[in-house]
A and B are shown apart, each in its own frame.
Chain A
Amino acid sequence: SQQGEEDPQALSIQEGENATMNCSYKTSINNLQWYRQNSGRGLVHLILIRSNEREKHSGRLRVTLDTSKKSSSLLITASRAADTASYFCATRMDSSYKLIFGSGTRLLVRP
């Protein structure tokens, strides 16, 4: 079974609103990453947070990590229509080089 599960599976918001998506995972990790995928394209790395970090920012992105709850959230502030995409979390465990992806959240930002 997959390591990460995103919630919600789909999210529809108005342009200018904030979008929050969550990721839960099962085992202890070295780091957690978020990726974005536009329809029909490959994935693009957005941000990485290490297991000893609790919060990280990059532009309009804010990521939090709660290792006690084995969960992370990605917040996109002031969303734009161009943010419409699928967003995936991916985890790397301490003992492995493998990167395991969750099932993703489909975000639709309405103009």
Chain B
Amino acid sequence: NAGVTQTPKFQVLKTGQSMTLQCAQDMNHEYMSWYRQDPGMGLRLIHYSVGAGITDQGEVPNGYNVSRSTTEDFPLRLLSAAPSQTSVYFCASGRAGGNEQFFGPGTRLTVL
């Protein structure tokens, strides 16, 4: 099993550009989530999903969109990138019971 995979590993954007961060898992997990990690802030939940077709907002959803058309994939879209979105983004998955989460390796995003 590959576990949770994220692409790309690094990305540089200009202000106003859009892009999609990809996340996939091969463990048939119902729950998937996106976090951002900033220095000294820990991880903050952006969006999460408890199954295909079901998504909900986390702590910091503004500026991000998600969709869950399959169990395996949970892409995160930045509609119009801003410097405040410079961060490391982590995708995670787990069983719907809200227990152990498996994390991907992260995407380091810089917005100029």
A48 near B99 (CB under 8 angstroms)?
yes
* A–B complex contacts, Cβ < 8 Å, 8 sampled: A2-B41, A2-B44, A42-B104, A43-B43, A97-B50, A98-B48, A100-B59, A103-B41
A48 near B100 (CB under 8 angstroms)?
yes
Interface residues in B, total, Cβ within 8 A: 26
Instruction: Specify which of A40, A41, A100 lies most central, judged by the most chain B CB atoms within 10 Å of its CB.
Output: A100
Interface presence of B31 (CB below 8 A): yes
Interface presence of B53 (CB below 8 A): no
Interface presence of B101 (CB below 8 A): yes
A98 near B42 (CB under 8 angstroms)?
no
Interface residues in A, total, Cβ within 8 A: 24
Q: Which residues of B contact A90 (CB under 8 A)?
A: 101
A88 near B98 (CB under 8 angstroms)?
no
Taking CB atoms and an 8 Å cut-off, the chain A residues in 32-88 that contact chain B are: 33, 35, 40-45, 48, 88
Q: Which residues of B contact A33 (CB under 8 A)?
A: 99-101
Whose C-beta in chain A lies nearest to the C-beta of B49? A97
Q: Which residues of A contact B31 (CB under 8 A)?
A: 97
Q: Which residues of B contact A101 (CB under 8 A)?
A: 35, 42-45
Q: Given contacts A42-B104, A42-B105, A43-B90, is CB(A98)–CB(B99) below 8 Å?
A: no
